Amino acid sequence: MRRLLFKVVSSVVVVVAAASITFFAQLAVPGDRATALMNLQTGQEKLWTEQELAPLNQKYGFDDPLVVQYLDYVTGLFRGDLGTSYTQKRPVTEVIGGQLLPSLTLTVAALAVAWLLAVGMTLLTVKRGRILSSLGSAWEALTASLPHYWVGVVLLVVFAVQLRIFPIIGGTGALGTVLPVLTLAIPLAGFLGQVTRDEFTHVLEQPFVTTARTRGMSDLGVRLRHVLRHAVLPAVTLSGWALGALVSGAVIAENIFGRPGIGQVLVTAVNTRDLPTVCGIVLVVAVIYVVANLLVDLVYALIDPRLAAR
Amino acid sequence: MRRTIAGLALLALAGCGANGGAGASGGGTPTTGGTIIYGHVQEPPCIFGGWIQQAYISRQVLDGLVTMDEDGSVKPWLATEWTLSPDDTKYTFTLKEGVKFTDGTPVDAEAIAWNFDYWENHGGNGTAKVSIDPYFKGAKAIDATHVEISLHRPYPPFLPLITQGYFGIQSPTAFKSRGEKENCEKPIGSGGFVVKEWKHGEEVVLAKNPDYNSWPATAKHEGPAIVDEVRWKFVADGVARYASLSTGESHVVYEVPTVNWKDAQSRYQTIRYITPGKPVSFFINTQVGPFSDKLVRQAFAYGADRKAAVEAGFHGVIPYEGNPSVSQATPGYDAEVAKAYAYDAAKANQLLDQAGWTARGANGTRTKNGQPLAVKLVYGAGFIFTHEGATVLQVLQEQWKQIGFAVELVPATQAELWGGKYSDPSTFDATPSYWTSPSSAILWIVWRPSTKDNPNFNNRSFFNNDTLAKAIDQANGEADPAKANALYGEAQKIIQDEAAGIGLYTQNSTYAVAPNLKDVWLEKSQGEPVFTDAYFVK
């Protein structure tokens, strides 16, 4: 119980710290927020006079001391108020809210598919003779190093333009989600596969594997019930990180397939110096990281009972 | 990497061309109804504003007072006719009768006057304001259908300038009674479409205004929109956007990748619009650094084959523009001025020798008094310059190196550039940008001298020249177009002779339209697509 409480408190601290660091990092970016807003509204890149900037400074409190701006922001956080987007004139919760579900669908699905691909490849190719094994590890090395943009465009040309199986601008529909998911899942699968493969190879050489085999267990049984359980631990650890990274890294897949999501919103918000929106998204991503890592801890305990007992 | 991919996609797309177009100009039976899916690039923060990205979409929802015809003449829209007072300072517009905003309130003289006041005095639209400053005096309703707009001084470009999308008329009632969010997302006008829904990050759904009765004189048919809806989708990626036409997922796309342009011409209806106003040209910092010497600026202009670099970089689709101050599509453009500074490395070397940059450092960079001839070229990466534009800059950089310039290319993000990081004369030596405008009056906006009391931050060459200012000022007030153009030409010549700017290429808008969709056209002042006349054929 105390351990759980500690986890929760430290999670809140992490999240608030993330929001605070983003807040100040954004302020440290060269350039004035009111100027950026005026230029965004007019498509220009010039300076403006004090009189021209005054209404904006007044409206958003850009002239207030930093401490005041920061305290306003943090107290707002605890009231669930993330502020109002400078550019879209909507509450940040609404800006993010509308984009969160498509992003989560995309990233969770990508992680799941990546796992399926990685585990499948591992079971089928590790120590299956030199040719299969090297094919497997070559495939993983190749896919792990593929840039998302390249994967996305190749998938688009092959499956959307040539074969016409999936739409290009699929929105958030199930069919339209397939290619964006694969765009993110394929490189990640390679990455997870590489980690799992090393561990899998190592575990296959352990004495308890030999013991299991002497009990007459089938090869597939040994691999599934004994070896895999050990071998997935490093990949599980990485999954917590991967989920967070996918949320913010999804922007490329979103761009190619015209899909909504917070990745897009984040890039635009950073470009337009829309501070409340940037902070809000970082906050959400931080929460996802924290939750993902809590989940990883739980999954660890499931896989390795020794951890749960401690 | 992106170029290779685009090439790959081109091959793949060409492979399935058989079921694509061919009959792009063929007839077919016109139908009513249907939904046009339009693939645009950037999503604006609001549907109305002073950025061209907003004008594209606000044009669908808001009507203007007047519009521009193909030949550049100004034609009726919400105003059926107008008169000009004998002293050329008062325009009296007669409004079309019976026109209503989509909230049911009338488009009357009061509403027009309120809009002008909003743009000019209440921060409604910075670009509208700067277009008519400092000439605009006030707007007032004479009666329900007559509105008078008075100027401080005669300003013939006033009419062409107010044809731009920035001057879309909104319902004052709706604007005042609703919150900022509603006004941002769903401005109320009297246009052919209304904003039905904005799915952020995905699309804006525009629904036909069934009571539309205020189409412009340039419309291709009379009556409300023929189609039921336009789904204005945001597809940032060029490969995906262009490919969506071939799979039938879109009917119109904006910004066809130049590598796909030839393919598009053979399969679809294509529209290329050369934007009037300031082309994509370099501002040259005439105040600080090596370019404060005119000879060095001229050497820089002579020193690289800009024309060849542009033609190669954009696959021959985007025209080179040698005139730094106005583009070839602008009324009053001086074609002679554009011919100056054809590539001449020998001349460039001679000018640099003359300017005293005679010694050469270890890497071939010229030096003077021990200082290297280093130039910082800041460009907006990814929003003003695509990767193709950046390639052009790299080619030029290599040529400038040959004559002894060490050019540092500095890609600037939107946040840096718009946030003002590169506004001060000490922060850059050259920076390219453009400004669309249907009139040579853009010269005043950009090149007006900057004074303490009345700074002009648009003048990014920091070039204050009284002869130039006088010529533009006279031209702006000149009623005779021939005389005005001669004066504008004089201004362009001064800027070119002084090498206060260096030309590069025209800002273009390209569109590809599916063969079964007819009568999509671009309005003349800024190249915004018009969908109210479009119809599908079977």
* Interatomic CA distance for residues A169 and A166, integer angstroms: 9
| pLDDT confidence of residue B261 | 95
- Which H/E stretch holds residue B90? strand B90-95
pLDDT at B382 over 80: no
Q: Give per-residue pLDDT as tens, A141-185.
A: 999 999 889 999 999 999 999 999 999 987 788 899 999 999 999
* Interatomic CA distance for residues A4 and A47, integer angstroms: 52
* Interatomic CA distance for residues A272 and A270, integer angstroms: 6
Judged by CB atoms closer than 8 Å, whether chains meet at B419 and A44 is answered as no
Which residues of chain A make contact with B257, given a CB cutoff of 8 A? none
Q: Give per-residue pLDDT as tens, B266-299.
A: 999 999 999 999 999 999 999 999 999 999 999 9
Give me the mean pLDDT over the B150-173 stretch: 96
| pLDDT confidence of residue B7 | 39
- The whole-angstrom distance between A196's CA and the closest CA on chain B is 30
- The whole-angstrom distance between A169's CA and the closest CA on chain B is 7
pLDDT band of residue B19 (cuts 50, 70, 90) is: very low
Chains A, B: CB contacts under 8 A, how many? Answer: 188
* Interatomic CA distance for residues B281 and B343, integer angstroms: 16
Q: Give per-residue pLDDT as tens, B232-243.
A: 999 988 999 999
Cβ neighbours of A62 (radius 10 Å): 18
* Interatomic CA distance for residues A131 and A120, integer angstroms: 17
Q: Give per-residue pLDDT as tens, B101-127.
A: 999 999 999 999 999 999 999 888 888
Task: Extract the tokens encoding B477.
Answer: 């007030």
Paired residues of B432 in beta bridges: B282
Give me the mean pLDDT over the B298-318 stretch: 95
pLDDT band of residue A19 (cuts 50, 70, 90) is: confident
| pLDDT confidence of residue A308 | 61
> What DSSP character marks residue A46?
-
B128 neighbors B119 (Cβ within 8 angstroms): yes
**A175 in contact with B, Cβ within 8 Å:** no
* Interatomic CA distance for residues A169 and B484, integer angstroms: 49
**B243 in contact with A, Cβ within 8 Å:** yes
| pLDDT confidence of residue B289 | 95
B278 neighbors B503 (Cβ within 8 angstroms): no
- The shortest CB-CB distance from A271 to any of B39, B125, B413 is to B413
Secondary structure of residue B85 in the 3-state scheme: coil
Judged by CB atoms closer than 8 Å, whether chains meet at B16 and A264 is answered as no
Q: Give per-residue pLDDT as tens, B323-364.
A: 999 999 999 999 999 999 999 999 999 999 999 999 998 789
In this structure, are strands B35-40 and B252-254 parallel, antiparallel, or unpaired? Answer: parallel
- Which H/E stretch holds residue A23? helix A2-28
Give me the mean pLDDT over the B211-217 stretch: 97
Q: Residue A247 phi/psi, 5° resolution?
A: -60, -50
**B235 in contact with A, Cβ within 8 Å:** yes
- The percentage of chain B sitting over the pLDDT mark of 90, rounded to a whole number, equals 82
Top residue of B235, B237, B378 to mutate, by most chain A CBs within 10 Å, is: B237
pLDDT at B140 over 90: yes
- Which H/E stretch holds residue B509? strand B508-513
| pLDDT confidence of residue B52 | 87
* Interatomic CA distance for residues B405 and B371, integer angstroms: 12
Decide if the complex's ipTM is over 0.90.
Answer: no
| pLDDT confidence of residue B9 | 41
| pLDDT confidence of residue A52 | 82
- A84: nearest CA in chain B? B181
Top residue of A99, A153, A255 to mutate, by most chain B CBs within 10 Å, is: A153
**B247 in contact with A, Cβ within 8 Å:** yes
- Which H/E stretch holds residue B137? strand B136-143
Which residues of chain B make contact with A167, given a CB cutoff of 8 A? 247, 249
Judged by CB atoms closer than 8 Å, whether chains meet at A162 and B423 is answered as no
**A270 in contact with B, Cβ within 8 Å:** yes
Judged by CB atoms closer than 8 Å, whether chains meet at A162 and B16 is answered as yes
| pLDDT confidence of residue A1 | 62
Which residues of chain B make contact with A49, given a CB cutoff of 8 A? 455
Which residues of chain A make contact with B243, given a CB cutoff of 8 A? 156-157, 160-161, 168
Q: Residue A109 phi/psi, 5° resolution?
A: -65, -40
pLDDT band of residue A248 (cuts 50, 70, 90) is: low
Half-sphere exposure at residue B150, Cβ-oriented, CA atoms within 13 angstroms = 8
Give me the mean pLDDT over the B524-536 stretch: 96
Q: Give per-residue pLDDT as tens, A96-119.
A: 988 889 988 999 999 999 999 999
pLDDT at B22 over 60: no
pLDDT at B471 over 60: yes
Q: Give per-residue pLDDT as tens, B38-74.
A: 999 988 889 998 888 899 999 999 999 999 999 999 9
B91 neighbors B82 (Cβ within 8 angstroms): yes
Task: Extract the tokens encoding B165.
Answer: 């999308």
Give me the mean pLDDT over the B519-536 stretch: 96
Judged by CB atoms closer than 8 Å, whether chains meet at B418 and A30 is answered as no
- Give ∠ CA B129-B134-B138 in degrees, rounded to 5: 75
B379 neighbors B387 (Cβ within 8 angstroms): no
User: Does residue B413 or residue B186 have the better pLDDT?
Assistant: B186
User: Does residue B371 or residue A271 have the better pLDDT?
Assistant: B371
Judged by CB atoms closer than 8 Å, whether chains meet at A270 and B415 is answered as yes
Residues 283-302 (A) with a CB less than 8 A from some CB of B: none
